[in-house]
Every structure is written in C-alpha cells, then in structure tokens.
Amino acid sequence: MVSVLAQADSGTAAPGLKVYLPLVLLFVLAAAFAVFSVSLGPLVGPSRYNKAKTSAYECGIEPSPQPLVGGGRMPVAYYITAMLFILFDIEMVFLYPFAVNAGALGVFGLVEILLFIVTVGFAYAYVWRRGGLDWN
C-alpha cells in the first residue's frame, strides 16, 4: 500500500503530462507579459493629446479638406493591395518547411505541396479576375 502511494507521488502515474509543463509555463508567462504590458502602458505613458495625435494617419499624407477621391482618405485600393500582399506572402511562408524537408516527405509531400500551390493559384486568379490588383 505504501509503495503504491510512493509511486503515485513520484509522478509515474501520468508521465506524459510532464512533457507539457514547459509549454504551459511559456503560455502563462506570455499571457502575464501581455496583461502586464497592456495595463502598464496607460499608467506610464504620456497622456498629452493634441490634434495631430487624434487625427487619422494615412501613410504620411495629410488628408485635404477637398479631396479628389473619398472623404480625405487614401483610396481603398492601397489597403486592399497591402492586405493581399500580406495574405499571399504568409501563404508562401508555408512553402519553406516543405523545401527544408522535401526529401523526407517523399511523393506524399510533393502531392500535398502541389495541391497547396494550386489552391493559392486559384485564389490569386480569382483576385486578379475580380480586379483586386488594378489601380484604376
């Protein structure tokens, strides 16, 4: 009876859970740092507001009172193009692990990466056909 309790206390009852302890501690540390940073910012940072700080920032271009397009803001095409660049750039980052382990993945990995490239190609063709890349 005593030896069974000693084994349970030594951690042999659930040896697989010990592996996840560093990961859980990392998540707890990251969450604590995020909460600490967000709560400390308003207390420590300056609180002097002026017109320049509260106005919209449009890529360094001051909005004019009589705009040619829109309400004094940059055209939406700029933001759409930037978001599309980020989207396709992040999708292409997924090709790097395949390039590193191409030999180990074999034919299955090749088929999977070709399916991924075809899917991204369809998305790119859709955006191109809908005019998402046109500036006019």
Whether residue 77 has pLDDT greater than 70: yes
Whether residue 43 has pLDDT greater than 90: no
Whether residue 116 has pLDDT greater than 70: yes
Tell me if the pTM is above 0.75: no
Looking at residue 83, its pLDDT comes to 84
Helices (H) and strands (E) in the chain, counts: 6, 0
Angle at 80 between CA 134 and CA 69, to 5 degrees: 75
- Dihedral sign (CA 40, 45, 51, 52): negative
Mean pLDDT (the chain, rounded): 78
Q: Tokens at residue 10, please?
A: 């030594």
Looking at residue 62, its pLDDT comes to 62
Q: What is the pLDDT of residues 45-68, one digit of tens each?
A: 777 777 777 776 666 666 566 555
Q: Tokens at residue 95, please?
A: 């090709």
Contact 27, 20 (CB under 8 A): no
pLDDT band at 10 (very low <50, low <70, confident <90, very high): low
From the list 124, 123, 129, 132, the residue with the least C-alpha distance to 77 is 132
Looking at residue 12, its pLDDT comes to 55
Whether residue 8 has pLDDT greater than 60: no
Least-confidence region, from 32-46, 49-63, 112-126:
49-63
Whether residue 133 has pLDDT greater than 90: no
